[in-house]
Amino acid sequence: MVEVSVKSARFLRGRGYIGSVVKRVLLAAPRGYCAGVERAVETVERALAQNGPPVYVRKQIVHNSHVVDELRQRGAVFVASIEDVPEGGLVVFSAHGIAPAVRAGAAARSLRTIDATCPLVTKVHAEARRYAAEGYTVVLVGHAGHEEVEGTMGEAPDSIVLVESVADAEQLEVANPQRVAYVTQTTLSVDETREIVAVLHRRFPTLHGPEKEDICYATTNRQQAVKELLPHVQLLLVLGSTNSSNSQRLVEVARSAGVPAHLIESERALDERWLEGVETVGVTSGASAPESLVEDLCEWFRGHGVAEIRELAPAEENVVFKLPAELRPRTAA
């Protein structure tokens, strides 16, 4: 249990002083990059090193503006569609996965392709295809418009229906209630998804689902780390971009427990008014946010007089995914 003593401090601000009692910053662990993001970012870096610029990337390679900007400076060209890639060009598919139609379109335009889809997303695609081939209505639990959802639905568009909430699950109607299966987006709220799946099980008792849940290990671990952090903090700051689903879920986890939380791109987006009356600040980062953003935020707090900055309960992840085959070193025969 963290012992917190109340002692007033005053922080200098551009237009004057504001009152604050911030004494410490506690960092969630694990946080930041997951294995799928590491693989995707390294895929673009290796492609640039081996082929030189430009290397085209369909959509954002991962949902973080800092990562995208850095890769753009190194010669990556981010495009909304494969139609924006010159014929014969080299294009990398993002970590979120693509529909088969995108792959076919790339082949039709003679594009050279490297697939940086996270292997855990590929697993969901394979499940959706298998259930659809076996004649099931496939319920995809996820968020409309997210690139991962668009890619998964593209695997069997006539067989997959999207469910976003408990209310959607309650109202769902299918042709054959005895032949229903489900898969999920990998970056959802663990608790909310469990509630939705419970409704599906009640309404469709023969419901089939993945042997191992589709929400990825990193999403689960980061949400659990935040839950362990919350009893010790009065405010949670989540570093990540607004289009990052897993980062948004971290904010929701805190707010659902009654702890104020804010998603910020970097320390420059921190509003010091959030700190008034706060003694201990929690910090975490989404699975696509580089650790440098956490370091910059910690440096900001040090510059404002906070001496105690530490991880609440250090934890490690040892998951590693191989690079796409096109980028692996070739071994001699």
Query: Which residues carry out catalysis?
Result: 148
Q: Report how far residue 91's alpha carbon sits from residue 56's, in angstroms, rounded to the nearest whole number.
A: 4
Nearest partner of 147 among 238, 48, 221, 40, judged by Cα: 40
Q: Between helices 217-229 and 190-203, what is the axis angle to 10°?
A: 120
CA atoms within 13 A on the CB side of 8: 4
Look up residue 307 and give its amino acid. A
Strand duo 9-13 + 16-20: pairing: antiparallel
Residue 59 contacts residue 49 (beta carbons within 8 Å): no
Q: Residue 70 in 3-state DSSP?
A: helix
Q: Report how far residue 151's alpha carbon sits from residue 121's, in angstroms, rounded to the nearest whole number.
A: 9
Q: Residue 289 in 3-state DSSP?
A: coil
Distance of CA 328 to the CA centre of its chain: 25
Q: Report how far residue 216's alpha carbon sits from residue 222's, in angstroms, rounded to the nearest whole number.
A: 10
